[in-house]
Amino acid sequence: MTFPTPSKASGLPLAIGLAALTGGLWLFLNAMDVDVPPFKDLWPILLILAGCASLVDLFFLSRRPTAAGWAVAWIGFGVLAFALTYDFTSWGKILDWLPSFPTILGFAFLATCVAEKRRRDHLAISGGVLVALGLVGFTARFDWLRRSMPSAQVLWAGLLLLVGGYLVWRALAQGRRQG
């Protein structure tokens, strides 16, 4: 079995193709009187399919590291949309799930950072800060999580110490290489 050679082609046609296939299958089954859930309950699958298309783009098509971040973001937001659609949470409880946004974006940045062949410090730092921000947001909303986690001040102190220490270490290492 041979795989296509990497190219600069976008994963967008793949995502649109998967969405068209899914929509066509849903319409066909509905026309054949198969009991399928209404589209208003299934629309988040389009976000998850976009994430799957990004994974295919990452591993088989363009192999761009940013596709890893897009995959995490699309799948994360698709899961959140399913939680809203199937009443695991509601718009009335927006403060409960609002920290999901920085958390998902933070993991997307970290996924891109991991997929990169070279170091991208800004992605790692941004991703870590966003995940920490989401974690702090969740601990502020849920008592059981607040009891099991250190205070927000301790979390931020740890994050700032890690980021600062890493940046100082990198600056010293670069200085030694140049001198």
Q: What are phi and psi of 172, to 5 degrees?
A: -65, -40
Within a domain: 19: yes
Contact 71, 111 (CB under 8 A): yes
C-alpha 139: how far from chain center: 20
pLDDT of residue 115: 92
Within a domain: 28: yes
Within a domain: 2: no
* pTM (2 d.p.): 0.74
Within a domain: 145: yes
Average pLDDT for runs of 10 along the chain of length 179: 48 78 88 89 89 90 91 96 88 87 96 84 88 86 80 81 87 80
Q: Which residues contact 157 (CB under 8 A, 6 or more apart)?
A: none
Within a domain: 163: yes
SS3 91: helix
Within a domain: 52: yes
Q: Which residues contact 109 (CB under 8 A, 6 or more apart)?
A: 69, 123, 124, 126, 127, 130
pLDDT of residue 10: 63
Closest CA to 109 of 68, 158, 74: 68
Element (H, E) at 57: helix 44-60
Q: Round to whole Å and give the CA distance between 83 and 77.
A: 10
The count of structural domains within the chain is: 1
Quote the Cα angle for 114-119-123, to 5°: 65
Within a domain: 1: no
Within a domain: 53: yes
pLDDT of residue 7: 46
Give the range of the structural domain holding residue 94, as residue numbers without chain letter: 12-174
